[in-house]
Each structure stands twice: as C-alpha cells, then as structure tokens.
Amino acid sequence: MTVPNPPADSGPVAIICGGGSFPFTVADALMKSGRGAVLFALRGFADPDRVTGYPHHWAHVTQLGRFLRLARREGCRDVIFIGTLVRPSFRQLVNFDLATLRVLPGAIRHFYGGDNHLLTGMARMLEDHGFRLLGAHEVAPEILVPEGALGQVAPAPRDLDDIHYGLEVLRAIGPFDVGQGVVVANRHVIAVEAAEGTDQMLTRVGELRQSKRFRAPPGIGVLVKAPKSGQDWRFDLPSIGPRTIEGIIEAGLAGLAVKAGGSIIAEPQIVVEKADRAGVFVAGFPETPGGSA
C-alpha cells in the first residue's frame, strides 16, 4: 500500500513518547510555535505525571492499530518518536492489536537486529500508512545544541585537545554502530560507550577515578559525544540533559562537548545552571574542530 506524502507541516505533531524529559521539551517547543502536539504515551515508559499536562493518549507498544486510528483522528500527519525505550521484556508485550500482529514477524526480526533496524522498520511501516516520520530536531530545531560554550565556562586548550582526540576515536568506531560517547583525559581514552549508555559510562569513570585506575587530577578529562556515522537522526541523536552534567561532575571531568546542530539538549537552562555552578563546560563543536578535515 502506497499513500502519497501528505502536505508538510500540517496538523499537530504526533509524539510517540518514551521515557525521560525529552518528549516534553519537544512538546513545549511545538506548543510555543503554535503547531501543537499530541502525545502518544507508551505505557511503562512515559512519565504519567508529566503526560497529563498535554493532549495525549496512552498506548501499549503493541497497539499499533490504536495509534494509527487515533493519530488520524487527531489530524496528525507528522510523527516523531522520542524518549528512552529500554527494550520491553516479553511479559510487557500484551494486548497486541490486529495492525501490530500483522507487522509482528518483521518487528521481531527488527527487534533483534539492533535499534536502528527496528526503528527503520517502524518508519517504513508508518509511511505505508500515510504518515511521515521526522526527527525531533526537524520539528523543534531549538532543542539542538548550538556552537560554542553554552554557559560561563569555556573549554581550556587542553580540553580542546582531548575533544579533538575523542572525535578521532568516535570517527574511527563510527562505521561499527558502537556508542556515541567517549571519555578522554590527556589524550588517553578512559572509557568508550557501547550498549551501557552515557550515564553508566560516566559512573564507571567516577569509579575508575576512585579506585585510582584513572589517576589524572579532577578537572582533567572530557566527555565527547557525536552521532554515529550513518545514524538515522530521526531516532537517535546524541542527547544531553541535567543528568549528564551530574555524571560529568561525579566523574570529575572538565566538561562535555557534543556536535553542534547534531545533538539535542533537554532542559537547557537547568543544564547551564548546574554546569556553571560546578565550573564545568558544556560546548557544541562544529563539524571539524580546529579546521582539520
């Protein structure tokens, strides 16, 4: 079934809403811009207290038919998917509706093929039903991290050197769909993020510091995050928020650098306040820092 693309930017945006605060940051931006949003809150993932502040429906991850029906009725054409979605256990997979059962064999294959495959399959399915899957940054570009220092603290020359080195590491592992983050201190790679995620990696760095396996004095070392090469920005842009800054502080790092225009930030004012108070930097770096290719 092929449906012609709907006109761009019509109707409120359907936000398929996982955990964390990002869905609400994006919804706020859409409300402010006048476009509007309807949350499709995923049971077990979305924050129930915060969902009630927005137009919303609840759905199980297994209720694709329900989503398609309600999104159409709400006049949504554009869909974004945002928020954490730790893969559901089989016990959470209840209340399958017919539309879900139809795509299930493919979905299961995607599910075990890694996130990108799962979500690429979801995107294709939504398009088959006349919707358009966009990235959160396309409907709310103000959530993208801008270039330069966000707060009052700027990276020192040594930090810039570590950022550059971290970027080279991320570029080298980019083709392998590994993580999006790396911690570097004095051009020494302290930690590489894979399935554990950024927060857990920062906890590890703090522990390595406590156990003296990572001995550079506090205030030395940076977290660098960048999108994986070939990553589909509609699903999974590197993201930072207040929790990331807490992790940076606990790990004793000098700050964090993310790709400007290629990373999203939740609750930026809280991020900047926390960072300024602790004296750590938060910076967006351009595509090629230092002007190198």
Largest CA distance in the chain: 60
Q: Which of 1, 8, 195, 293 binds a second copy (CB under 8 A)?
A: 195
235 touches a second copy by CB under 8 A: no
> Does residue number 91 form part of the binding site for a second copy (CB under 8 A)?
no
Q: Does 114 bind a second copy (CB under 8 A)?
A: yes
Here the tokens at position 111 are: 């599910």
The rounded distance, in Å, linking the Cα atoms of 247 and 234 is: 26
How many residues are listed for the chain in this entry? Answer: 293
| Calpha distance 218→17 (Å, rounded) | 37
- 88 contacts 57 by C-beta, under 8 angstroms: no
- Interface residue with a second copy, options 3, 146, 172, 277 (CB under 8 A): 172
Select the residue interacting with a second copy from 169, 260, 270, 278 (CB under 8 A). Answer: 169
The amino acid that residue 68 corresponds to is: L
One-letter identity of residue 270? I
| Residues 126-165, mask of contacts with a second copy (x by CB under 8 A) | ---------------------------------------x
Residue 215 within binding range of a second copy, rule CB under 8 A: yes
Distance CA 217, CA 233 (A): 36
- Which is closer to a second copy, CB of 52 or CB of 200? 200
Chain residues binding a second copy by CB under 8 A are 86-87, 89, 112-114, 165, 168-169, 172-173, 175-179, 183, 186, 188-197, 200, 204, 208, 211-216
